Amino acid sequence: MYSWRYLLLGVPSAGLLGPVALAWSLGRFRWRKALLLLGLALPLWLLAAWQPYLWSAGLWFAALTALNVWIADGWRDWRAWLRSIGLLLSHLALALGLSLLVAGAFLEDQVRSTLPYRELIALGAGMGIVGLGALEWLIRTWRGRGGS
């Protein structure tokens, strides 16, 4: 399972360390490049956290997509762009699934929901599994294209 590195760094940091985790998962981790990636991602991550609007989230999504493409294959391969978008969408599915699991399991008495809590748990588990499976598949396909 190659996605454990992404789960360890990318998901808990809300995507801030996602490009570093992808480089580590692909076997292309170098400290200098990791610090550069963090330096490029941090201002846009702070902007998205400070201004939680659609434009800042879109800018953050575009920046993460570009950083992932830069790590993986380069700028000209259109499949790298599709893989990067897929990686970010699977990250979002996994994070939303985990959030729904927490909301359904632990906040039953504190939060009112239009869905029954069993459905929230089932929906969260399903989204989490789909997100994790997509992460694993995308990282495996990227590693097959030249990762170590």
Question: What residues does each domain of the chain span?
Answer: 4-144
Q: How confident is the model at residue 129 (pLDDT cuts 50, 70, 90)?
A: very high
- How would you label 19-54 residue by residue, b for 16+ Cβ within 10 Å and e otherwise? bbbbbbbbebeeeeebeebeeebeebbebbeeeeee
Give the max Cα distance, the chain: 51
- Give the tens place of pLDDT for each residue, 51-108: 889 999 899 999 999 999 998 767 888 888 999 999 999 999 999 999 988 888 887 7
Residue 72: name the closest of 119, 124, 28, 125 by CA: 28
3-class DSSP state of 134 = helix
How many other C-beta atoms are found inside a 10 Å radius of the C-beta of residue 99? Answer: 14
pTM of the model: 0.84
Backbone angles phi, psi at 6, to 5 degrees: -65, -40
- Mean pLDDT score of the chain: 87
